[in-house]
Each structure stands twice: as C-alpha cells, then as structure tokens.
Structure 1
C-alpha cells in the first residue's frame, strides 16, 4: 500500500510534458528562391532575328549587301537629308528580311562595311554591327589610321563587287557604280549591269522588287537561284566543253562535226 501511494504522488507531481504538433499537421512552407541580381544597370542588347529551321533554308546565290548604301538610306528616313546618318539598324532590317523571306544564312549572305564605321560619329547603334559580325553576316573592310591622323581606307565598293564576281553572286545596293563601270577592262561590268538589285525602305520595312531588271528581265527568284558554278562549288566546277577536233589537210580546216572542209 505504501508503495502504491508513493507512486501515485510522484505521478501527480510531475509537470506535463509539452508535445508539439505532428509533422503532418504543420502546413508546407516552400523554400523561397534567392533574389535575382539587380537589373537596374543592365541593358540587354536588341535581340537578333532567330535562325530559321534547317528545313526552311533554301540554297540561293551569294547575296552581297552594300552596307554603307543601305545604312545611309535608312538613316535618311529618320534624320532627313540635312544630316548624313549611318543607321546600323537598317542593315539589321535587311538581313532579317532575307532570313525570313529567302532563308538566308551566314554562308550565302555577306554585308560589307568599312571598319571605321564602328567608331564613326555618324554611326548609330554601332553595337548592331558587332552583333552581325559575330554572327557571321557582316565583314569589315580594312581601314587604318596613320600616326599623323590620316585615315587610309581601301574602296569598299571594290570589295563588294570583287566578292560578287568571285562567288557569282548578286549585289543589293542603290549605287550605280558608274565610277567603276567606266574603267578600262572593267571586270565588274556584268555584275553592275545584270546582278545589282535595288531596294527601298518604307519606314522600317525593307523591300526589294520581284522584277529587279524590269518587266523583260529575269525575276528575283531566277536571279537568286544558284548557278551551276555556285551549286557545285569552286573546286568542283565542270570541265569546259571541248571544241570539235580540227586538223590541217592541205591547208584546209576539217571539222568532223560538219564532215566537210572549211575554206
């Protein structure tokens, strides 16, 4: 009896233990992600046009864009003729148009711009030139500044026409290239007369005609179609067709095709 009474007193004198709620009763509190870094001083560059899927890419001739001519025409739309402005954004619009309409890639589309345009006072949005250069669409023609401050610039129009001649390509420009066409033994004459495509800007819409050589000339689709030389590559050009064999018989030329002597 004494032992039972002792145990009863001990149990009654003990303080009740605090029992917390079960884990299942506690509502789920998701762990918050760390805060993102501040973007107050970060200005992302304008996005480039997305590359088209490979299935949309169509093989075309090499298209060489006269970057300066395009940039000045677009700059005149916004700044007027009183101020000569080099608008890099106009070049981007032209490249985007060729991408979306003709599946242009950096393999068959090249913009040529003098290198000094990157830092020239008249250039607007020069970072777009660097973006186009990094993506393979733009090539800077060389330029250097001499110790006295004199700037030496090779003629960028020659680079444009040389590339069109070397690749059997077309040129997009409103320049007539008259100074180069009138040169003696001009190698650019065929490109200037038959493969220069004009363009226009309607605000920020770049446009080229579907009949660049007039009603009686080739259509734009035919002009952009790869030639046999371009489609087979420079190293796989077809061998020239051999002329009919000729031989001298008694001071007469004999043609096996015609089967009679030619006097």
Structure 2
C-alpha cells in the first residue's frame, strides 16, 4: 500500500521501519527532520509537509497526546484537509475517547475513513514488529488496513465497529499496567525494608506466580532503580491515567485505584520526574518507607 506516516518518535520510528520491511511504500513526515532522514536510508520517501504524507491510500499517525493529534489532523493542510475521499486515517496514538469520536465524525464528514488502532508495547517491541494492536472501525475499513497492522504487530484484536472503543481499551490497558507498577513498588518496598534482596524477589515472582512480561520488565526496573532513559516517559503515563479517569467520569464509573495512580504520578512529576520512565512511580513506595 501507499501510506503516509506522521510521528517518528520512540514508537513511530520502529512502526514505520516495519512497514517498509513489509514492502509498503512509505512517505514519512516528522517535525524533526533528522528522524525522517534515518527512514529515507531504509527506502522511505521524505515528505516536506503533512499534506504530502496524506496523498496515498492511507496515513498512519503515532503522536504523543491529544494536542499533537489535533494539530496534525485539524490544522491547516493537515490530515482532514489533505486526505483524499475514501482514503483511511489509522490513528495509533493513545488519545482520549472524546477526541477519537471527533476524529471519526470529521473524517466521515469529509468522505474519508477512520480506524483507531492504538498499540501495546514499548519501543523495543515496536522495533521488532511485535506490538499488540487494538483496532476498531467499520469492518471494511479495518480489513483494508489489516496488512499495515500485520506489519507492525504480532496480533490484532478487533474491539468494535466504533473507533473510540479501541481508545477506551487502550486506556484501560495502560491503567492496568500502571496498577501493576504501583503494586510491585509497594510489595518490593515491603520486602526491601525487611532487608530482603529485591532482585531475587523479582526472580521468584516471575518464575512462579507472575511469569508475565509486565512483571519481568517493570519488576526488573524497580528492583534496579533504573528509570532512565525513559522508554515511556512519566508525563505520558500521567496523561493516560487522566484520560482513563475522564472516560470513567463520562461513563459514571468510579475508579479509586486510578485516582491513586493520578496522585502518584503527580508526586513523581512534582519532584522532578519528567524525564524518568513511568515505571518510576514504582520507586515512590521505597522512598515513602525511608529506603534509599
């Protein structure tokens, strides 16, 4: 397929690279030109504007937050202005449910198609094409972009025919990840204060009771206290919890643990944690317990 790709950050660069490896014709745009040049060496075309990246069969966006997506999609000569009738916007960004609903409406009004396809996985997983994709949209639209989703991920779970529900699933998933990080941090503060080795504790957990990647990855980071460089920065984690709470507010669903996580992220950021990985909230319990 002829596809444009907008947003070559930690996640987007790996995703675009795997689209190229799968044989797709990729035209890439990023505000930081150097990131585009890296893809050009792999066979991509460099777009000098967002509009130029929207001339193919589809455009995929992978951006940091609602504000960035709004700017790219609704801005002058942005995606809505530039995408041809019948072409598809695939949004893989972690955004609010409300914005996803706006995107679907705007593309429908312009005669374009829209698929929400947020992804689960850290940058190393994106680089290897092993992301898990939560996709939602009209069945024909999801089918049309299936080759793109297959190129970036190891599996695609079709959530709904309504795009915004893929974003709700993504936010709920990140809430669960953050809950695991916080609970790991508290458990490790407990055994650490007693003088037990946190690394051996993680080995025990992940080889017996909790042999899942989320426990292995984040347990190791918390045990070692290594939160830089950030694969997923704390401000992004904070944003996702706030978006989950906003969705919960709209649906009148109490989420007391999410409220706790919001405060944990605020504590981390208030103490200068902006450049740390979001797993750094797992280190707060040890500090609260008086551990170094």
Note whether the superposition's TM-score is higher than 0.5: no
In terms of Rg, which structure is larger? 1
Smaller-chain TM-score bracket:
0.3 to 0.5
Q: TM-score, normalised by structure 1?
A: 0.33
Q: Which has the higher helix share?
A: 2
